[in-house]
């Protein structure tokens, strides 16, 4: 486990420590795959499998970084996201056909990443952390990794419900127009074929998301303290 940050949370009846970490052992990654599987199975994004894990070919390759948020008190993962920095990103190779956005074509042709497997769960069924706290914590660490790698544009594909949530909280992103979805076989076949909640390709500009983070982090800072 590579610990990136430790936070103390004390708000809304919740007192806990949160670890933001990169899983780097077999057991830690298996627990993350299990976490993803349980969430996706409940949402009917995937079909049951004997291993009870959500894992695809990209999880087995280089150029992948994971960020997890872990509750020390509950001993469970509350949030997870995957950053893919390799060439031939899944969104282009497996998921969609679309014309490359001009800003990416001009400024990030060979230096772009993809965010996927973004999952955030409630603290418990009856207790909730301040809105978007886990998301903001993860965005903060994602941006640091992107900065270190000099990556300033990021692709993602998101459900329409999440699309409108991002709009509501004013998280800056760009919709990709005139696309064709080509994903018809694989781990996320069910995810891509829910007609009432379609999947949409989008991309993010590091600098605009950074500004969003600066403005939004102020609102949640009163609820959390960084532990040295």
Question: What is the per-residue pLDDT across 189-227, written as a single tens digit (0 to 9) for each?
Answer: 999 999 999 999 999 999 999 999 999 998 888 899 998
Q: What is the pTM of this model?
A: 0.92
Question: What is the per-residue pLDDT across 20-38, written as a single tens digit (0 to 9) for each?
Answer: 999 999 999 999 999 999 9
Question: What is the per-residue pLDDT across 79-126, written as a single tens digit (0 to 9) for each?
Answer: 999 999 988 899 999 999 999 999 998 887 678 999 999 999 999 988
Residue 88 has a pLDDT of 86
Q: How confident is the model at residue 66 (pLDDT cuts 50, 70, 90)?
A: very high
Q: Helix, strand, coil shares of the chain as percentages rounded to 5?
A: 35, 30, 35
Domains and CATH numbers, the chain: 2-226 (3.40.630.30)
Provide, rounded to the nearest whole percent, the portion of the chain with pLDDT above 90. Answer: 81
């Amino acid at each position: 486990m590579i610990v990136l940050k430790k936070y103390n949370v004390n708000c809304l009846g919740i007192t806990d420590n949160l670890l933001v970490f990169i899983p780097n052992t077999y057991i830690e990654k298996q627990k993350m795959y299990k976490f993803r599987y349980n969430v996706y199975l409940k949402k009917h994004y995937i079909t049951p499998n004997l291993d009870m894990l959500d894992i695809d070919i990209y999880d087995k390759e280089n150029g992948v970084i994971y960020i997890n948020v872990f509750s020390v008190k509950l001993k469970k993962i509350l949030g997870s996201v995957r950053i893919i920095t390799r060439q031939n990103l899944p969104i282009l190779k497996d998921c969609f056909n679309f014309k490359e956005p001009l800003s990416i074509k001009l400024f990030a042709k060979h230096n772009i990443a993809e965010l996927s497997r973004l999952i955030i769960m409630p603290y418990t069924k009856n207790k909730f952390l301040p809105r978007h706290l886990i998301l903001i914590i993860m965005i903060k660490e994602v941006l640091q990794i992107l900065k270190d790698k000099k990556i300033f544009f990021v692709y993602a594909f998101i459900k329409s419900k999440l699309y409108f949530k991002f709009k509501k909280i004013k998280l800056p992103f760009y919709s990709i127009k005139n696309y064709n979805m080509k994903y018809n076989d694989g781990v996320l076949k069910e995810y891509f074929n829910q007609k009432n909640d379609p999947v949409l390709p989008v991309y993010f500009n590091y600098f605009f998301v950074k500004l969003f983070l600066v403005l939004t982090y102020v609102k949640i800072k009163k609820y959390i303290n960084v532990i040295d």
